[in-house]
Amino acid sequence: MRSRNGNHYFSHRLCSIILLYSLSLSASEYLISYRYVVKDASLYNESLMISHAMKKCSGTSYEPLQLESNGSKNLSKIISLNYEIFIDYIHKLGLDVQHNEETINAQNKSTTILTLKTKCFKVDFNDNFARIAPLK
């Protein structure tokens, strides 16, 4: 492809920019938060919240995770099918830990809360896989 002035590199650059921009538009961004509460050595509450980001998140993606999607574009459904893999992945990202322990009248009470504060994830859907990457 040549332009009128003979500069075909400009045309190639323009086409590649348009292609890369269109590929970046196909990725969706989601806000995900996780909370795990243990009271007296038993699971008390576990919650995973997923919502579509209302505005564009800034940052670069790192440490992606690929989950089998079987053609689905519903992130909640994909994560529920691969729940243990995704929770292990979230634990590796780093969680805030709060621990409280008290003893009253020789009875010990403890509470531990693990929290992944709301974080933006970029999700690319494929026919067979969903690639999930947190943004820094």
2: in domain:
no
pLDDT given for residue 72 in this prediction: 86
Over the chain, what is the mean pLDDT?
A: 83
Boundaries of domain holding 45: 28-134
Strand boundaries in 1-136, DSSP class E: 28-39, 42-52, 65-68, 96-104, 107-125, 129-134
23: in domain:
no
8: in domain:
no
Whether 2 has a pLDDT exceeding 70, the answer reads no
12: in domain:
no
pLDDT in tens, 22-31: 444 457 899 9
Structural domains of the chain, count: 1
Indicate whether this model's pTM tops 0.85: no
84: in domain:
yes
109: in domain:
yes
Count of residues in the chain: 136
70: in domain:
yes
Give the confidence band of 124 by pLDDT, cuts at 50, 70, 90.
very high
14: in domain:
no
pLDDT given for residue 10 in this prediction: 56
